[in-house]
Structure 1
Amino acid sequence: MNTVLLKRAICFLIFLLSCQELFAQDPQFTQYYAAPLYLNPAFAGTTGQHRASVNYRNHWSSLPQAFVTYAFAYDYNLPASNSNIGVIVSTDRAGSANLSSTNIGAIYSYTIPLNNKLRAMPAFQVGYSSQSMDFSKLVFGDQLAFGNADAPTTDPDARNLDNNNHFDFASGLIIYSSKFWAGFALHHINQPNQSALDGESKLPMRATLHGGMKIPLKLGPMKSGIESSINPSFNYRKQGRFDQLDLGFNYYYRMLMLGLWYKGIPLQKDMPRTINHDALAVSVGLSMNNLNFGYSYDMTVSKLGPASSGGSHEISLIMELQLSKRPGKVSRKDKYNPCPAFMPRYLWKP
């Protein structure tokens, strides 16, 4: 048998035997405030008239064939009604066989004024997902036995492998004012079967609970001082037996943003004698006119460690357009944008 193939087979068997259970979960963004439709479909329409966002994440960048995730979203609030629409496309890729998952979703949300300062927005998302991999890069048992990974396989599982496509549904609700926001979302409500074989492997429902607030600051004299703010927020998510809490804050000063975040649940043990610490994250951002740019880095603090994982890099880009009839004026609806806006238009004047 080929020595390289033999080593790979032995390592793979050791890995399988050393794992009693294997878990997986949806990709997540550290800058969840910069991926609002991915976080909760109810955020569709919570900005000026138009918003487009692009997000990129390279998870554990130093590992071979690391997890890479992309997301694009667009949303629009209909000026003549309380309705809002949006669309989101996300894809992630991992592994030497390029295991990929692409999701496309259409969103509708409705704005319910609770009083002059408080609003509620329920939403529903209809999506379609496609999973695929490069089956030619898989190595089966009979190929290892002959010591030739290029030889055709007769393994029956190889004939049963197929790309997987399914519908996927999500819903959410947010309640917000210009000072705070809170919401929850449910993704994969129908728990679709994602097995590439004839068996069943249901995708667990993902539940998230999130909220935050804006604390305005004034630097300098009362009337002529520079406006800034601190925006603390949290995002708790649970999917199957996996759960995690993101907790931190962003500090806004004119066109700059700085953030510090903790990811994990410090009082919970995810394995025997192991506290659930995942990462510490720092973020920076810049706002120029209608364009917002953000970068964040996750430093792994779990047993994997930053030296072996390389940490995680994330980039976000958001463009907002307010096509009002009176340039320079903020509409009444836009005045009550919720806090998670990356750089709220009412926060400072260029």
Structure 2
Amino acid sequence: MKNLVMRWVLFLMILLKSITSFAQDHLYSEFFNSPLYLNPALTGQFKADLRVDLIYRNQWTNVPGPLSYFTGSIDYNIPRLGGGIGLLFTRGSEGTAYLDKTNFSALYSYSVGSEDFVLSFGLQAGMTNRTIDYGKLIFANQIDPTLGIIPGSSNAGDLPFNNKFYFDTGVGTNLAIGDFNIGAAVQHINQPNESFTGMPDKLPMRINTHVSYRLDLNSMDNMDDDDKTYVIPSVVFYKQSNFDSYSVGVQYKRRGVNVGVSYRSGAETGPSALVLSLIFDIFVNRDGAEKFRFGVSHDSAVQGLTYGNTAGSTEGSLGYETTLPSNGNNDPPRFEGAHRCYEFY
């Protein structure tokens, strides 16, 4: 019984530390299937008119308390405005007390360039709601040294607040030149206060950079781009306060199938992981620039926590692009001939 009490006390200490300390944004292994979450400058940077992306991550399945994240986005390519507009929805749920964070943002990007390159700039602004359910926590006054958890005991450990709203902003830039795609973004520029205690607790800025290269294995063949074979190495680096992480990987893409493997460092927030991803373009209509994509990936811990302790992390994603009937082909891309970010994955 004494061991049970000590376990609950330790769990409470860890939980309260996570609530009062600064939060860190979740990261997706399939970053290329959630472009607006990665960088607001990628808004509207695709061949069709309308794009919808959905991605879900279930992290460390064996760890008590759910660690799940969902992001949905929709963006519209408007060549006459020089870029695109979009909406982004993100929700995360962590721990047995369901520490939930929900964000809804609007995005805008503007592009300049020529047939050789495209340089885009993006803006993001929205509202975030952060909540916690204290009723699912066990506090010290509810534990008896002999009996353990006291049935029916009331919770006297509530913090002053359990619901927090705040304004949030972000910016980004992206350059597609030749077979290179290079971008950077900064989130939480205003460093909003997300504390539940009434004391200041600013959310640190998140900085991420990403570089990809598309190696055409059929460069000498007169083939349509969708029929060619590519090798796509990429590097993504994240930094938020004292936490930093990088992901290094390579993908093999042939027609509608994309197989990738990458390594992501874990630093202080979790184990390093080896990631395997499979992406399928299930339906492609080249004439209408229409595409339906399905992706799945799995992270396996290779350092720190073992795979037996975490059971890894799994992601699933869906993406759809289409040309609206009213537009047809009367509104061609501004930079026809130049590679855009959508061609790199």
Taking structure 1 as the reference length, the TM-score comes to 0.84
Q: Distance in 1 between matches of 2:90 and 2:215?
A: 32
In the alignment, structure 1 residue 174 sits paired with structure 2 residue 174: yes
**What SS does the corresponding residue of 1:307 show, helix, strand or coil?**
helix
Q: Distance in 1 between matches of 2:3 and 2:76?
A: 54
Residue pair 1:46, 1:337 contacting (<8 A) in 2 also: no
Name 1:160's counterpart in structure 2: 160
Residue pair 1:228, 1:254 contacting (<8 A) in 2 also: yes
Q: Distance in 2 between matches of 1:42 and 1:134?
A: 36
> Structure 1's 112 and 222: CA in aligned 2 closer, same or farther, altered over 3 A?
closer
> Structure 1's 243 and 340: CA in aligned 2 closer, same or farther, altered over 3 A?
farther
Q: Distance in 1 between matches of 2:320 and 2:34?
A: 12
In the alignment, structure 1 residue 322 sits paired with structure 2 residue 316: no
Q: Identify which range, 229-238 or 23-32, moves more after superposition.
A: 23-32
Name 2:296's counterpart in structure 1: 295
1:198 Cα offset (Å): 1.3
In the alignment, structure 1 residue 239 sits paired with structure 2 residue 240: yes
Name 1:348's counterpart in structure 2: none
1:56 Cα offset (Å): 0.5
Identity %: 29
Residue pair 1:90, 1:102 contacting (<8 A) in 2 also: yes
Residue pair 2:22, 2:201 contacting (<8 A) in 1 also: no
In the alignment of these two chains, the number of paired residues is 328
Residue pair 2:98, 2:132 contacting (<8 A) in 1 also: yes
Letter in 1 for 2:214: K
Name 1:68's counterpart in structure 2: 68
Gaps of 5+ in 1: 344-350
Residue pair 1:83, 1:111 contacting (<8 A) in 2 also: yes
Residue pair 1:42, 1:171 contacting (<8 A) in 2 also: yes
1:40 Cα offset (Å): 0.4
Q: Distance in 2 between matches of 1:4 and 1:280?
A: 35
Per-residue CA deviations over 1:11-67 (Å, capped at 9, x if unaligned) read: 437869x99x97742101001011100000000010121110000001111222231
Name 1:278's counterpart in structure 2: 272
Residue pair 1:61, 1:312 contacting (<8 A) in 2 also: yes
Gaps of 5+ in 2: 285-290
Letter in 1 for 2:99: L
Task: Give the aligned CA root-mean-square deviation in angstroms.
Answer: 3.0
1:298 Cα offset (Å): 0.7
Residue pair 2:213, 2:344 contacting (<8 A) in 1 also: no
Name 2:138's counterpart in structure 1: 139
Name 1:56's counterpart in structure 2: 56
Q: Distance in 1 between matches of 2:12 and 2:99?
A: 20
**What SS does the corresponding residue of 1:218 show, helix, strand or coil?**
coil
Taking structure 2 as the reference length, the TM-score comes to 0.86
